Amino acid sequence: MTPDEKRRANRIDFILSAILIAGGLTLSGISLMQLASRGQIQFAQTTQPSEPSPSVPAGKSDGPADSKPGGTRPITPAPEPARPDADAQKSGAKPALPPAPAEKMGEPIKN
């Protein structure tokens, strides 16, 4: 590029940027004028709940039991993951998942 072409390109870029800045300022000014002309600010409000939320869980009349230091833990066994019973499959029950496909082996890589 010759110096004249660079100067012309810079001038065009400057004019375009000035137009964009002026347009942005104009839109901002128009928006602010519309907000100021309304005069009244409106806020969104929620309605009050119709029923107070229960503080006691359903099925209990007095709430949760108090925790005591050194107390006993529940003796019910923890749930275990489901494992298919071999006898159930022999009697005709469908397995939970289809059998896994056999691994495919190719020829060994020769050097």
Residue of 83, 105, 101 lying closest to 93 (CA atoms): 83
Most confident stretch, 62-66, 77-81, 103-107: 103-107
DSSP 95: P
Q: What percent of the chain has pLDDT over 70?
A: 73
pLDDT more than 90, % of the chain? 24
Domain extent at residue 45: 3-91
User: Is 106's pLDDT higher than 90?
Assistant: no
pTM: 0.35
- Residue 14's SS3 state is helix
In the predicted model, what is the mean pLDDT of the chain? 78
| Residue 74, domain member (yes or no) | yes
Residue 30 lies inside a defined structural domain of this protein? yes
User: Region 81-101: what's the mean pLDDT?
Assistant: 74
